[in-house]
Structure 1
Amino acid sequence: MADTMTLTTGRTATRPNRRPRRANRARGVDWLMLAFAIVAALLIIAPFYLILVNSFKTPADYSNGGPLAFPTHISFDGLAAFWQRVDFPQKVWNSVFISGMVAVLAVLISVLNAFAIGIGRVRGRTWIVLLFLLANLLPQEALLYPLYYMAKAVGLYNNVWSVIIIFTVIQAAFGTYLLSAVYGTFPKEVLEAAAMDGASRWQILWRVVFPISRPTLSVLLIFFFIWTWNEFLIPLTFLVSNANQTVPVAISVLQGDRLMDVTTTSASALLGIIPTLLFFLIFQRTLTRGITAGAVK
């Protein structure tokens, strides 16, 4: 009996020793993940650091200290040179107008399409969603010639509305694919209750479905704006005049035309980042709420 108690006591005494080992392993994994996150953050911050530091240097200061050194004195010559050469306020307005119109129109079309596919239960909805998915997989290079031909035919070449129409269709294809999956799982009880109260399809869409899915639509709106702002190839092809160019196109065209120095190039990149950064900071809470809206019931 004593031997049995001794063995039992010995077993129970050795069991707690496994927990510290597991805890140490978990801590080791946590520290490893933290180190990986820090390295990734440094790699992401490094380009922004180079842009910010070199934007306020003179060409002589850059030649003497290199790209990593702090400027000996703050200089706004690069910012002023880029601002004057490209008429930066006009380029910002073009980008804001195009991106804003695309974001609003693409979300609106996505809602209408997804409501018909996900809730309206149209025939062949699986193939329709697959078609929208395939549309997102097409590279933009494959669309340039037919889009260029159609823009020329309808008189929209070198017009901002040609870019707005193209990107609205492209972004709406992705939005339709995403929202149709979301609306396909929409509670039927809510829709049936609204229909029993006498609500029409249009009223169900704007008074029931739209308010509930507003966080998801806000996320789509923000993403569509940022994605359209950063687009380069199609605006470069369709907006040839200086008055219609967007910020990314103006930066690239000026680099090839005027052969800017490194400080002016960094200043142009900094000015191109600031509007999207401000837009993200303004709508950061909206983006966070939209992403976490479906995480908690």
Structure 2
Amino acid sequence: MKYPILTALVVLALVMLFPFGIVTINAIKSPAEYSSAGPLSLPGGLYLDGIVSFWNRVDFGGKLWNSFLISGSVSVLAVVLSVLNAYAIGIGRVRGRLWVLVLFLVANTLPQEALAYPLYYLSKELGLYDTRLSMIIIFTVIQAAFGTYLLSAVLGQFPKEILEAAEIDGAGRFLALWRIVVPISRPTLSVLMIFFFIWTWNEFFLPLIFLISNDNQTVPVALGVLQGEKFMDATTSSASALLGIVPAVAFFLIFQRTLTRGITVGAIK
């Protein structure tokens, strides 16, 4: 029984990796080879001019830094804010806990299109428009809404005996949070941080509206803007797609064990 399942998984993996392989092949292929042999042909050699041209054209290094700065800051700040909110709601049992959770649930269902104008007006009034700080604040709140809703359910099942023992030993609420709740919940928090990073990295709509300066744009915005330019040939387009995919894939592979461990621990619990 395991061999048919393994075969099906291998076939599914190949189907999912096929587009990535085509993009990679065309990214290292010359325009002449693409025109003569088509997108499915193998390159005759390693042609990197398309990658270099795209990198220099959009200042891709700067775009990478912007995306890493925004996504990294959001992933850390959103997890911290989620933990503080969920600790108060799930363990502190604040009044109106159910309605607070409903509010966070509704916030998660709001489309970004509905948030665009109010956030645009507010950022203009505060002088934060076209700054990376505006994206950090906005996405921290958006991601923390989901994180709070998720962690409230997790911390709501936290053993009260452990906290009562810590209180008897003289630990205050914040010390119990830092020394007990956070270490025990670390696998879940690690998974949440990875998801927040990837989700923020892939955001396109709000950064397209709020980051209009070339120096502040993120990788998805730079890719989207440049893809609309007519002087982009097929190999350069493939190079841009490859460079946009590689950082997210590399981040996922680096933290794959952390992600797997966190999911496994959550399943065992």
Give TM-score, length-normalised by structure 2.
Answer: 0.96
Residue number in structure 2 paired with 1:22: none
Residue number in structure 2 paired with 1:41: 13
Q: Secondary structure at the match of 2:245?
A: helix
Residue number in structure 1 paired with 2:27: 55
2:127 to 151, 155, 164: 155
1:256 and 2:218 aligned = no
Once the two structures are TM-superposed, the CA of residue 40 in structure 1 deviates from its matched residue by 2.4
Once the two structures are TM-superposed, the CA of residue 32 in structure 1 deviates from its matched residue by 5.0
Residue number in structure 1 paired with 2:267: 295
CA RMSD of aligned residues (A): 1.3
Once the two structures are TM-superposed, the CA of residue 296 in structure 1 deviates from its matched residue by 3.0
Residue number in structure 1 paired with 2:219: 247
1:180 and 2:152 aligned = yes
Larger radius of gyration: 1
Cα distance per residue 1:15-50 (max 9 Å; x no partner):
xxxxxxxxxxxx3xx555445433422221111011
Residue number in structure 2 paired with 1:204: 176
Q: Secondary structure at the match of 2:266?
A: coil
Residue number in structure 2 paired with 1:277: 249
| Alpha-carbon distance in structure 1 between the residues aligned to 2:60 and 2:205 | 20
1:115 to 80, 87, 100: 87
Once the two structures are TM-superposed, the CA of residue 103 in structure 1 deviates from its matched residue by 0.4
Once the two structures are TM-superposed, the CA of residue 255 in structure 1 deviates from its matched residue by 1.8
Residue number in structure 2 paired with 1:10: none
Q: Secondary structure at the match of 1:178?
A: helix
1:230 and 2:207 aligned = no
Q: Secondary structure at the match of 1:68?
A: coil
Residue number in structure 2 paired with 1:13: none
2:113 to 137, 141, 144: 141
Residue number in structure 2 paired with 1:124: 96
Q: Could you tell which deviates more after superposition, 91-100 or 38-47?
A: 38-47
| Alpha-carbon distance in structure 2 between the residues aligned to 1:133 and 1:36 | 37
Identity over aligned pairs, percent:
66
Once the two structures are TM-superposed, the CA of residue 234 in structure 1 deviates from its matched residue by 0.5
Tell me the amino acid that sits aligned with residue 252 of structure 1: G
Tell me the amino acid that sits aligned with residue 117 of structure 2: Y
Q: Secondary structure at the match of 1:260?
A: coil
Cα distance per residue 1:79-104 (max 9 Å; x no partner):
01101100111000000000001001
| Alpha-carbon distance in structure 2 between the residues aligned to 1:279 and 1:196 | 42
Cα distance per residue 1:248-295 (max 9 Å; x no partner):
111111122353111101111111122222212221221111111133
Tell me the amino acid that sits aligned with residue 191 of structure 1: L
1:189 and 2:189 aligned = no
Residue number in structure 1 paired with 2:193: 221
Tell me the amino acid that sits aligned with residue 106 of structure 2: L
Q: Extract unaligned runs of 5+ from structure 1.
A: 1-26
| Alpha-carbon distance in structure 2 between the residues aligned to 1:198 and 1:188 | 15
| Alpha-carbon distance in structure 2 between the residues aligned to 1:246 and 1:221 | 19
Q: Extract unaligned runs of 5+ from structure 2.
A: none
Moved segments of 4+, more than 2 Å: 30-40, 294-297
Residue number in structure 2 paired with 1:9: none
